[in-house]
Structure 1
Amino acid sequence: MQFAPLRQRNFALLWWAGLISIAGDWTLRIALPIYVLQLTGSALATSGAVIAALIPTLLFGLVAGVYVDRWDRRTVLLVVSVLHGVTLLPLLAVDSAGGLWIVYAVLFIQSTLSQLFQPAENALLPNLVTAEHLPAANSLNTLNNNIARLAGPALGGLLTASLGLTGVVVVDAVSFLLSAALVAGIRGRFAVVRDADTPPLGVRRELAEGLRTAYSSPMLRALLGIVTAICVGEGIMGALFPVFVTGPLHGGARELGWTMSAQAIGGITGGLLSGRIAARIAPKQLLTWSLVVFGLIDLAIFNYPRWTGVMWPGLALFVIVGVPSVLSGVAWMTLLQGAVGDAYRGRIFSLMMVLQSLAALLGAGLAGTLAARLGVMNLLTVQGAVPVLCGIGFALISSRLGDRPYPAVVSPERQPVAEAS
């Protein structure tokens, strides 16, 4: 059951396409900040690269979802993958600090394309597998991401040391073109078809329609509220994690690398186990308990240094926490896919991406403002409590909604068509 979706041709093609492109992208994500720092010697220039990649989410994220719901999702993935590969090539001309504007421009374009790619991929996936296999498919997608997260940075570091930025750019561009070739092999048409008698609503009205859909559904409100709260905590952790490793854990760059590898190994372990577990536990109950366990392990991670500065318990906990982390993500995604009809999925997933970015920014801002006042470990303890509170809150909401299947919101004038074979 766990690997059954990979026996379905269309899903297997999408899975391998994602693995190749994400691994290639991780190589660049590791190499590019190092290269910018080497060219400029400026941390400010490096942070500028982060900002250039973030702005498109805030500018175009919501509108991109409208077009994902208008166009064939497979075609979106195919075209965007090719454009991803081609628009990386200007980085080959960067050989001095004077070319920094090219780096920023490429990152801006790449991030803009991602606003279409990620919602299209998430909206397409439920049409490639049966409802019975959807939790397993989400689990395999998480496994995919964590394998790429483990392999990509190692490859990025190796290529940067041996071939410089040129080698990394070529590998990443080729990964996107290979991904496009795999997506091209997906059979079927995956578009939301508009009734011939219904005129187009226009981008603004379709965007408003998507936002109303999210607000009108108690289940969608709860799920989007959870991901927003979790991402505020992730923003806090992202800003303070290096401080935590080098401070309370008395580590350095090597130990920071160990903890990142431990997180990736935990994610892979969770991905291997989560499909089997998700098949046995209802998504609502799975989301509740996995969030609570995830938060409790986080609390242990960020508080055990109060009694000892030994590194190995933290590394072990980082591996263990990967299991409930993946389980909560699989349950959350399965519930979201079931709570909204295909006609709205692009807009809902785009809204999710925007909320994640804003929440992470808020979390990073809170970390910078409050860390000195409250202390790093105390603030990370608050972050660890967030999943626990989300799990308890979702349990209360679920009990109020009851155990009845929550109906997906379906557009009255547009119906999904997925002629996959």
Structure 2
Amino acid sequence: MSLLEAEAPEEAAGPAAEPLRRNRDFLLLWIGAGVSMLGLRAGTVAYPLLVVWQGGSPVDAGLVGFAAVLPQLLVQLPAGVAVDRWDRRRVMIACDLAGVLAMGAVAAMVLAGGLWLPLLMAAAFVEGSAALMYRLAERAAVRNLVRPEQLSAALGQNEARGQAAGLLGGPAGSGLFTLGGWLPFGFTALAHLVALGTLLFIREDLQEAREAAPRRLRTEVAEGLGWVWEQRFMRAAVVLIAGSNLLFQVLSLALVLIVREHGGSPATIGLIGMVAGIGGVAGALGGPWFMKRLPMSAIVCGTLTAWTLLVLPVAFTTNPVLLGALWAGMSFAGALVNVVAGVHQVRVTPDALQGRVTSVFALAGSGMNSAGALAGGFLLAAWGTGHTVVGVAAAMAVMAVCALLSPAIRTSGLVATAEERAPEEQAPEERVPEERVPEEQAPEERAPEGAA
């Protein structure tokens, strides 16, 4: 997921109002981050393949996978502090260099014909940490490269890019591995080099000027947590993100069992995942359209309701076509609400807090992913797939009702206000000069509580 200095309305139609496709700096950042995401996904898929095909045990594969996701729990909040404390361009350059070294070391190890588990685990941890910090910095930088009315479209394109990277990265990683065990890791290292090159050509600053001196890590982490807690909508959003992530982890595990129990193959799961990815891309690209027409509260509550209605049929079908359609619908709604929540978070969060606030939401999601995977195993073993999926649908329905009854959600206003709407859709009297809210104002003065 910056407001500009006040200017005359007629200036908004000048060169600064160019479309995103002509925004050189945004395109460089978008392309570089997209290539980096694709490489990360390809390398992540290749980890277990490398371990198993080189004679490692399932325990070894699990250890490498654990090392790759451990940064989501250990590094998330400190990474948010680093993104807010240091120059974001330099942070992202350092992340790309770390990724090049880590993945280059793995590629060299494989080319040498060996498999040293400690090196592979260390490389997976370094790559995961660097990718996490890079994403935080990139998201925080976006609003410094685009105009306020372009923010929803920019973050929608970012979400679509992430969905597409997930869709293509898996086949790319496994396909490259079949050609040569070192290739996925070499490709990931090359992707980091491409991202590094795009960063060096960006002209604009990726952050506002820093005035406050760095403080203790604990103090700065607490500041980010405290700011989220003080925002009513943010508090509610963290709970909804955590709950939905937990439920979808359970549902994803249930899908694997449903396919296996009825004679399907891993390829079936892969096809369902590809269809779901297409739905996610469509939802991300459609986010700005929905934001111009619906209040944020309607989108959030509608997403939870849609998830409830789409999850329930999963308990009663084994048809892969229908399962793919249901997952595509869920991914569409998920990407849509990601864009809406991301735009709101980026717009109302002070620039100096962007990294820490984003890291709070990311930690809530990643933590519940881990808990959901653990809970899903126990629930499926105790209840079976059908009853577990019905339980997931019931829990999602409870979340939808809670959102409808929550004052923080119900009173959230339009995400696309007059400032966000396309100029051609505004009546002349609606077009008002853009205005920067002074940085020293309290968060509540920056945007009304619950407003987009």
Q: 1:388 to 1:82 in 2, by over 3 A?
A: farther
2:351, 2:272 → 1: CA distance? 39
Residues 1:225 and 2:234 aligned together: no
2:374, 2:412 → 1: CA distance? 39
1:339–1:409 contact (8 Å) kept in structure 2: no
Structure 1 unaligned spans of 5+: 415-421
Aligned to 1:303: 315
2:409, 2:294 → 1: CA distance? 19
Count of aligned positions? 404
- Per the TM alignment, residue 109 of structure 1 is displaced from its structure 2 partner at its CA by 0.9
Structure 2 unaligned spans of 5+: 1-17, 416-435, 444-452
Aligned to 2:14: none
2:102–2:126 contact (8 Å) kept in structure 1: yes
Aligned to 2:194: 178
Aligned to 2:357: 348
**One-letter amino acid of the structure 2 residue matched with residue 191 of structure 1:** Q
After TM superposition, list the pairs within 5 Å mapping 1:145-224 onto structure 2: 145-162=162-179, 164-195=180-211, 199-224=213-238
1:360, 1:268 → 2: CA distance? 21
Q: 1:382 to 1:410 in 2, by over 3 A?
A: farther
Q: 1:404 to 1:269 in 2, by over 3 A?
A: closer
Aligned to 1:52: 67
Aligned to 1:418: none
TM-score after normalising by structure 1: 0.87
Q: Give the match's secondary structure for 1:191.
A: coil
Q: 1:230 to 1:381 in 2, by over 3 A?
A: same
2:297–2:410 contact (8 Å) kept in structure 1: no
**One-letter amino acid of the structure 1 residue matched with residue 100 of structure 2:** G
Residues 1:122 and 2:139 aligned together: yes
2:254, 2:64 → 1: CA distance? 20
- Per the TM alignment, residue 403 of structure 1 is displaced from its structure 2 partner at its CA by 5.1
Aligned to 1:417: none
Aligned to 1:85: 100
Aligned to 2:10: none
2:24, 2:135 → 1: CA distance? 20
- The worse-fitting range, judged by mean Cα deviation, of 38-47 and 340-349 is 38-47
2:438, 2:388 → 1: CA distance? 38
2:310–2:326 contact (8 Å) kept in structure 1: yes
- Per the TM alignment, residue 132 of structure 1 is displaced from its structure 2 partner at its CA by 1.7
1:27–1:168 contact (8 Å) kept in structure 2: yes
After TM superposition, list the pairs within 5 Å mapping 1:11-410 onto structure 2: 11-95=26-110, 98-162=115-179, 164-195=180-211, 199-247=213-261, 249-300=262-313, 302-305=314-317, 309-398=318-407, 402=411
Q: 1:134 to 1:291 in 2, by over 3 A?
A: farther
Q: Give the match's secondary structure for 1:88.
A: helix
- Per the TM alignment, residue 283 of structure 1 is displaced from its structure 2 partner at its CA by 2.8
1:167, 1:105 → 2: CA distance? 19
Q: 1:321 to 1:368 in 2, by over 3 A?
A: closer
Q: 1:386 to 1:18 in 2, by over 3 A?
A: farther
1:55-108: CA deviation from partner (whole Å, max 9, x where unpaired): 222222211211111122233222212321222111024346751221101001
1:291, 1:279 → 2: CA distance? 20
**One-letter amino acid of the structure 2 residue matched with residue 181 of structure 1:** G
1:358, 1:113 → 2: CA distance? 18
2:244, 2:409 → 1: CA distance? 22
1:194, 1:399 → 2: CA distance? 31
2:259–2:269 contact (8 Å) kept in structure 1: yes
**Alpha-carbon RMSD:** 2.7
Q: 1:111 to 1:235 in 2, by over 3 A?
A: same
Aligned to 2:6: none
Instruction: Name the % identity.
Output: 24
**One-letter amino acid of the structure 1 residue matched with residue 265 of structure 2:** G
- Per the TM alignment, residue 228 of structure 1 is displaced from its structure 2 partner at its CA by 0.9
**One-letter amino acid of the structure 1 residue matched with residue 309 of structure 2:** L
1:290–1:324 contact (8 Å) kept in structure 2: yes
Q: 1:392 to 1:17 in 2, by over 3 A?
A: farther
TM-score after normalising by structure 2: 0.82
